[in-house]
Amino acid sequence: MSFFFRTFAPDFENQYPMRRIFSRSVFVAIVLLCAQLYAVPAFAWGQKGHRIIAKIAYDHLSRRARRNVDAVLGEQGMIYLANWADEIKSDTIYSNSYDWHFQDFPSGLTKQDIFSSRDRYPAEGGNMFRALDSLNQEILNHKSEINPHTLRFLIHLSGDLYCPMHMAHMDDRGGNDVHMKWFGCDTRLHTVWDERLIESQGYSYTEYAAKLEREYEASRKPLLGDQWSEKELIWNTYQLTEQIYAYQPVWDGNTYHYIYRWRQPMEYQLYVAGIRLAKLLNELYR
């Protein structure tokens, strides 16, 4: 066999230059794919994540809340518009909303630190807490005639609230300066949590929402009720973020190992965000 290849392989190459063209195009495709993956802007939770959250929330709205939300955003509109707040970031009219999407913290904070920062908005690290409270108040004040933009922001930012890299470190811009490889391509820790982990599972947003609703059914009531305060869930998210950072130096660089370690915690955060958004809207429209 080896004689065959030694003798005929060069001729084969000359007769079939397609093979070389093919390998070159595969190389170019991989480079382009990596470039594309790297260049994708950091959309909190990514488009799919926000749709999953909104779908879970929509499925758990009270009849009254759904009627009201549909009246403002159209039927299922809260799902279709869940990414609007990211899409408008490039519009100068909305440029002041850029830091509404995150609330970064330094590491080593205590539960009490996190609890009090929810009430007394930190001077640095983003304006997510302040934005959420203002939007909430705006809706309560104008219940009969809600500005659709207010509701769109509230739906989106309620998802960002449970996105670990939107409660990450200030000094690396929420994990945007933490470089890592994802199946050989350059990416950043922030993007891994916004998009790569979710995309790695290959579900559509409706399939993903249905899967999480089934898997976390036992957590639904405690999250919809008063068993968990928002502050405790924020504290959980902060602790998760700290664990994610601590894993970086011990990770062996294998993408499959990363997915194996973090898929479940990521999915739980999506579920929490969805159910808590339903709870928020149900209470606003009670």
Binding mask 116-145 for Zn ion (x = CB under 5 A): ------------------------------
Instruction: Provide the minimum distance between the beta carbon of 284 and Zn ion in the complex, in angstroms, as a whole number.
Output: 20
Q: Which stretch binds Zn ion (CB under 5 A): 155-163, 170-178, 220-228, 245-253?
A: 155-163
Contact 160, 102 (CB under 8 A): yes
Q: How far is CA 176 from CA 30, 40, 102, 233, in A?
A: 23, 12, 12, 23
Write out the two tokens for 67. 């009627």
Binding mask 90-109 for Zn ion (x = CB under 5 A): -----------x--------
One of 44, 151, 155, 277 touching Zn ion (CB under 5 A): 44
DSSP for the chain, please give it: -HHHHHHHHHHHHHH-THHHHHHHHHHHHHHHHHHHHHHS---TTHHHHHHHHHHHHHHT--HHHHHHHHHHH-TTHHHHTTTHHHHGGGSGGGGGGGGGG-----SS--HHHHHHHHHS--SSS--HHHHHHHHHHHHHHTGGG--HHHHHHHHHHHHHTT-GGGSS-TTTTTTTT-EEEETTEEEEHHHIIIIIHHHTT---HHHHHHHHHHHTHHHHHHHHTTSS-HHHHHHHHHHHHHHHHHHGGG--S-HHHHHHHHHHHHHHHHHHHHHHHHHHHHHHT-
Q: Which stretch binds Zn ion (CB under 5 A): 19-27, 133-141, 158-166, 192-200?
A: 158-166
Q: Which is nearer to Zn ion, 49 or 122 (CB)?
A: 49
Instruction: Provide the minimum distance between the beta carbon of 101 and Zn ion in the complex, in angstroms, as a whole number.
Output: 4
Residue nearest to Zn ion (CB): 44
Q: Which is nearer to Zn ion, 86 or 267 (CB)?
A: 86
One of 160, 194, 195, 242 touching Zn ion (CB under 5 A): 160
Q: Which stretch binds Zn ion (CB under 5 A): 84-92, 107-115, 118-126, 175-183?
A: 84-92
Instruction: Provide the minimum distance between the beta carbon of 9 and Zn ion in the complex, in angstroms, as a whole number.
Output: 54
Q: How far is CA 45 from CA 83, 160, 214, in A?
A: 9, 7, 21
Instruction: Provide the minimum distance between the beta carbon of 157 and Zn ion in the complex, in angstroms, as a whole number.
Output: 7
Instruction: Provide the minimum distance between the beta carbon of 53 and Zn ion in the complex, in angstroms, as a whole number.
Output: 11
Q: Which is nearer to Zn ion, 5 or 80 (CB)?
A: 80
Instruction: Provide the minimum distance between the beta carbon of 236 and Zn ion in the complex, in angstroms, as a whole number.
Output: 20
**Residue 152 makes contact with Zn ion by CB under 5 A:** no
Q: Which is nearer to Zn ion, 44 or 223 (CB)?
A: 44
Q: Which is nearer to Zn ion, 78 or 285 (CB)?
A: 78
Instruction: Provide the minimum distance between the beta carbon of 44 and Zn ion in the complex, in angstroms, as a whole number.
Output: 3
The contact set with Zn ion (CB under 5 A) reads 44, 86, 101, 160
